[in-house]
Amino acid sequence: MTSAAMLSGNHGCLVGISKPTVFTGASAMFLLVYLALWKYHDINNPLLASASSLTGDETRAAISLQDNIIEEPEQITSCDPPVNVTTFKNESVPVIYFVTPTYARSVQMAELTRLGQTLSSVPALHWILVEDAPKCNPAVGKLLRRLGIPFTHLASAMPSAYKKLKNPPRGVSNRRAALQWIRSNVKQGVLYFGDDDNSYDLRLFDEIRDTRNISMFPVGLVGDYAVSAPVVYDGKVVGFYDSWPAGRRFAVDMAGFAVNIKLLHQFPNATFVYKVGFEEDSFLQEIVTDVGFIEAKAANCTQILVWHTRTVQVPMAMLQPPTLIIEDTSISGLLHALDENKLASFSTSRGKPSSVHYLTDV
Ligand code: UGA
Ligand code: MN
């Protein structure tokens, strides 16, 4: 089957990125009927957002006019003295700039510890960790310094206009801040957006390191298909296997692509829109001028090297500290750690009373 034949059939959510162009009178008739039916399908599919009926430039205009309410640059706080980004020894190996948006919650330190320890096994990697907060959390800074990997620690809070929304666009202001930082500080390397709660196979880093323009690969545990993946035919990306096409040209997850940093300089305005679910597509539509440039990774997009895992959110405990504390026990240090890591907050008048069960009690 040719790629044109593959794409012309109704493959549900196999989103085609090129269409057959040569057709006769009869097939033109068929095409009109087909398009009418497809349109009907779109209108009646609750999963498809309104953008699905738009194409190319129209989609782009719709996104930028309606969704980028915030036009001014993000407020960015630099948390640590800037590091020298050119200190990597082997300059022939492209450096991976791994951008992680993160926000305060009880599971944050657990996520960052696990991710940081994965990243410390990767050579020539620079971690750009951007907190969704007006200022930096010292406990996060401490973890970064302890890991001993090159890092940049920034903070950039979600604009308040979006915070009020029931389903706000997550991690956008912080990723935009990271783009700004890279454009001002880095000339070359490979950019990857790695959320703090995903799981990464170390082989992923070998795959993305030689990204010449833009590379794509499957992400496990996304949507109803258990995966979001580019579809490769004859070595080329010809579509996407993703259960939420939603009119997106590039139906990919944030963790499913890497970009050569030269493209950030080539397209200085490319950024993420504040629109849930359309962040990746908005960015990719700006920088992918030729779909032939997309490099299929992970054995022609047949392997899963990254998973969109989600951690159960545990509300921060509100506690009253034990009233009877025997001096010199570990308890005050422990409570301090709970507070520092935002696992619990303490008040002497409110919250759940807590107590120590001493061995001598029983
Ligand atoms: C999915 C995608 O994998 C994200 O890349 C995308 O940003 C997100 O949907 C979206 O479109 O909203 P999902 O697992 O649903 O991700 O979202 P989270 O893991 O909750 O958040 C994505 C990233 O943003 C995480 O690294 C998280 O720490 C960060 N985040 C989340 C913030 O910085 N601020 C928030 O208020 C929430
Ligand atoms: Mn997530």
Residue 19 DSSP class: -
pLDDT of residue 75: 86
Pairing of strands 306-307, 199-200: antiparallel
Nearest CA to ligand 1 atom 3: 254
**Distance between CA atoms of 1 and 234, rounded to whole angstroms?**
11
326 pLDDT band (50/70/90 cuts)? confident
241 phi/psi in degrees, rounded to 5: -100, 100
Q: Which residue has the higher pLDDT, 100 or 14?
A: 100
Tokens standing for 50? 């309104």
Residue-wise pLDDT tens digits, 15-60: 655 443 444 455 545 444 444 444 333 333 332 332 222 233 333 3
Tokens standing for 257? 């692509």
Residue 254 DSSP class: G
* Environment of ion ligand 2 (residues, CB < 5 A): 195, 197
Q: What is the pTM of this model?
A: 0.83
Kindly list the catalytic residues.
280
**Distance between CA atoms of 205 and 334, rounded to whole angstroms?**
36
pLDDT of residue 44: 35
pLDDT of residue 2: 39
pLDDT > 70? residue 343: yes
194 pLDDT band (50/70/90 cuts)? very high
Pairing of strands 294-296, 214-216: parallel
Give me ligand 2 centre to Cα 303, in Å.
20
Ligand nearest to the CA of 162: 1
Determine the residue type at 296: A
pLDDT of residue 67: 53
Mean pLDDT of 222-250: 98
DSSP 310-351: -PPP-PPEEEEPPS---TTSTHHHHHHHHHHTTSEEE-SSSS
Choice from 103, 127, 170 to test ligand 1 binding pocket (greatest atom count within 8 A of CB):
170
Tokens standing for 289? 């001028």
Give me ligand 2 centre to Cα 309, in Å.
6
pLDDT of residue 54: 25
Ligand 1 pocket member 183 (CB < 6 A): no
Mean pLDDT over the full length of the chain: 84
**Distance between CA atoms of 213 and 260, rounded to whole angstroms?**
5
Percent residues over pLDDT 70 in the chain: 77
Ligand 1 pocket member 170 (CB < 6 A): yes
Contact residues for 121 (Cβ-Cβ < 8 A; gap 6+): 202
Residue-wise pLDDT tens digits, 118-148: 999 999 999 999 999 999 999 999 999 999 9
Q: Which residue has the higher pLDDT, 6 or 164?
A: 164
Contact residues for 318 (Cβ-Cβ < 8 A; gap 6+): 344, 345, 347, 350, 351, 352
Determine the residue type at 213: N
Secondary element (H or E) of residue 97: strand 96-102
Choice from 158, 175, 176, 195 to test ligand 1 binding pocket (greatest atom count within 8 A of CB):
195
Give me ligand 1 centre to Cα 180, in Å.
19
Ligand 1 pocket member 195 (CB < 6 A): yes
Pairing of strands 344-346, 317-320: parallel
Ligand 1 pocket member 94 (CB < 6 A): no
101 phi/psi in degrees, rounded to 5: -80, 145
pLDDT > 90? residue 107: yes
pLDDT > 50? residue 361: yes
Determine the residue type at 304: I
Nearest CA to ligand 1 atom 32: 171
pLDDT of residue 323: 87
Dihedral angle over CA of 270, 275, 279, 283, nearest 10: -20
pLDDT > 60? residue 191: yes
**Distance between CA atoms of 322 and 234, rounded to whole angstroms?**
66
Give me ligand 2 centre to Cα 111, in Å.
11
